[in-house]
Amino acid sequence: MTEEEVKEYCREYLAPYKVPTLVEFIDELPRTNVGKPMRAELRRIEREKALKEGK
């Protein structure tokens, strides 16, 4: 599946303001011992990436 395919699917089923402008694929989500996604860790990763890219 490509970024454009994800966006096209979203355009078909979601309101226009809910369609993502950026789609990023990762191999594996960081998870807690219980198996829940570690949202704070995802935010930290994105923050670091934005700093490296100068955003």
Domain boundaries, the chain: 3-53
Residue with tokens 């979203």: 10
Q: What is the dihedral of CA 37, 22, 16, 44, to 10 degrees?
A: 40
**Over the stretch 19-52, which tens digit does the pLDDT of each residue have?**
999 999 999 999 999 999 999 999 999 999 989 9
Could you tell me if 7 and 23 are in contact, meaning their C-beta atoms sit under 8 angstroms apart? yes
55/39: higher pLDDT:
39
pLDDT for 41 equals: 96
User: What is the spatial distance between Cα 2 and Cα 23, in angstroms, rounded to a whole number?
Assistant: 9
Length, in residues, of the chain: 55
CATH class, range 3-53: alpha beta
pLDDT for 55 equals: 64
pLDDT for 53 equals: 85
With vertex at residue 50, the alpha carbon angle to CA 43 and CA 40, rounded to the nearest 5 degrees, is 5
